[in-house]
Amino acid sequence: MTTAAPPVAADSIDHDRSHAPNLHWWREIVIALGMYLLYSAVRNTFGAGPESRDIAFRHARGVIKVEQALGLWFEPRLQDWYLSLPADGFIRSWNIFYGTAHFFVTIGLLVAVFVWAPERYRFLRTMLAGTTALALVGFATYTLMPPRLLDSSSQFGACAGRAEGCNSYGMVDTIERWGGLWKFGEGGMASLSNQYAAMPSLHFGWSSWCAVAFVLAIGRGRLRWLAFLYPAATLFCILVTANHFWLDALFGVVALLGGWAVAVVSSRLTTWWQERATSSPGATGSTTTVGASVRSS
């Protein structure tokens, strides 16, 4: 037995369905490349270098104080427990997952929606773009040191120039110690990535978008809800690798909800504009003339 996907902004999706044939793959690639260039420029321009270390560390202490006030500063205990498992919990596999899945899975879902559910593509694409844009605002305005750098003596760490573990937070930079496909603070990756682009967590925001897109556009039946295991795994990953605080993930959801609102408003404005254009006297007259010509022929 299968169940239909729940309606989300039904008027927006109906609008997209009627215009699905107008989708062009090359235009979507241009839009995606433009968004990626904007994403890279903002992420790597605002607070990206070691000169932002003190500000990023101060913000991290602020996040920790909020979590402590809520009684939810558990990240060090969670990581310590996980790394005490046999084979260090195969932490290197989580490092690889962290460095790859958020790009490849997101791109794969976007392509899948374009191919198999074009009627919902525009809404979901705009939702993803809106989520990313709102996250960029966070990166630009709230430079944040991730937990893995709180005791790191690297050039980006809070203990730069001092002994490793100088702040006694007890968090380990798992990528630095166990490795992955690459290290973000070394070589070319150091210039391509922003060590302090942590608030909000786009890893969690994008993975949650993937689950929503799968449920609404790709999956069928009750099993499609298993797609939310992906953001759950992503949340676990970003915490045990100390790449994010749980508050980063929370604001990743806030960015996602903002992206959904952007998509709804955008779709309704597009619908209003097209209805206004087709109801104008010139458009009506043109349509009538064409219809008359067809009938006369």
Count the domains in the chain. 1
Q: Give 148 or 11, the one with higher predicted confidence.
A: 148
Rounded Cα distance, 274 and 73, in Å: 50
Instruction: Locate 257 and state its tokens.
Output: 């909800």
Q: Give 134 or 286, the one with higher predicted confidence.
A: 134
Q: Do 263 and 12 contact (CB within 8 A), yes or no?
A: yes
Return the pLDDT at 13: 45
4 assigned to some structural domain: no
285 assigned to some structural domain: no
Domain with 93, as residue range(s), is: 16-280
Cα pseudo-dihedral 180, 181, 184, 190, rounded to 10: 150
pTM here?
0.83
The pLDDT confidence band at residue 290, using thresholds 50, 70 and 90, is very low
Instruction: Locate 134 and state its tokens.
Output: 């709102």
Return the pLDDT at 296: 40
Checking if the pLDDT of 194 tops 60, the result is: yes
pLDDT in tens, 85-144: 999 999 999 999 999 999 999 999 999 999 999 999 999 999 999 999 999 999 999 999
Rounded Cα distance, 91 and 239, in Å: 12
Helix 10-18, helix 118-141: angle, nearest 10: 120
Return the pLDDT at 234: 98
Rounded Cα distance, 99 and 197, in Å: 14
3-state SS class at 108:
helix
Return the pLDDT at 1: 44
189 assigned to some structural domain: yes
CA 184, 186, 187, 192 torsion-angle sign: positive
pLDDT in tens, 135-187: 999 999 999 999 999 999 998 999 998 999 999 999 999 999 998 776 665 55
Name the phi and psi angles at 200, rounded to 5.
-85, 175
pLDDT in tens, 209-266: 999 999 999 988 999 999 999 999 999 999 999 999 999 999 999 999 999 999 999 9
2 assigned to some structural domain: no
6 assigned to some structural domain: no
